[in-house]
Amino acid sequence: MEQSTAFCASLASVDVSSPPSMSSTSTSPASIPSEAEWAKIFGRLADKAIFMDESAGQCCHSGCDNCEWRYDFDIMRAARPKWLVTYAERKFDSDAHTAKWTALFDPPASSPTSSTPMSDEDMFNMETAGPTSLASPTVLAERLSALPFLAPLGPTVTVTADEPLESETAAWLWDKLLPPGSKSAGLTARLMERRLKEWANGKDSLMWGDFLAEMRR
């Protein structure tokens, strides 16, 4: 009886008022960022245009009954950012589109400019270098903050361009792109393209609702 009483007393001393802390391998905050925070991300990464099926460019889009492309479009455009496209670049015969999010991986500002003389070796290294790799959530936060913000279509909250992006939100996004335990040393454009495609189930883009649902998953 004394042992039973002691065991019950030990259980009573356990603090169950708060959930266990996150894994030490995780960099994201304990609580999911707000819709406003995700709107800041979406407004920096989403595009106002999306390139889809090039063959649909043969259609006049007049709703002709017998047209096989009646419900397909080659290019769609919006007045505000609407699509987080899942491709880095897509080229049609008459046009091309580079995803806005690829600016995260542009060469740093310290890279040689056209007015700076470059040796043959420097030119070779620049032409053969792979995509820039973002090494940490901190770097991702810096690159995200440097991208211009445009109010996107979809969010139910209002966010302005002068509202700073919280570093915790970038850390959460980092963990979504590179889950704890990932073998990747950093985030590259190729890896981000693959993750976006996975989130979109192979489709060409994520719209606001899809993106928010994935971030809250």
How does pLDDT run across 85-129, given as a tens digit for each residue?
999 998 877 788 999 999 999 754 433 344 445 454 444 334 333
- Domain assignment of residue 159, yes or no: yes
- Domain assignment of residue 189, yes or no: yes
- Domain assignment of residue 4, yes or no: no
In which band, very low, low, confident or very high, does the pLDDT at 29 lie, cut at 50, 70 and 90? low
- Domain assignment of residue 13, yes or no: no
- Domain assignment of residue 115, yes or no: no
Copy the structure tokens of residue 18: 């708060």
Domains identified in the chain, total number: 1
- Domain assignment of residue 97, yes or no: yes
Q: Mean pLDDT: which of 24-28, 71-75, 142-146 is highest?
A: 142-146
- Domain assignment of residue 19, yes or no: no
- Domain assignment of residue 80, yes or no: yes
Give yes or no for residue 150 having a pLDDT over 80. yes
User: How much is the pTM?
Assistant: 0.71
Residue type, 153: L
Distances (CA, A) of 93 to 44, 90, 133, 156, 164: 28, 10, 30, 38, 39
Full domain range(s) for residue 98: 31-107+132-215
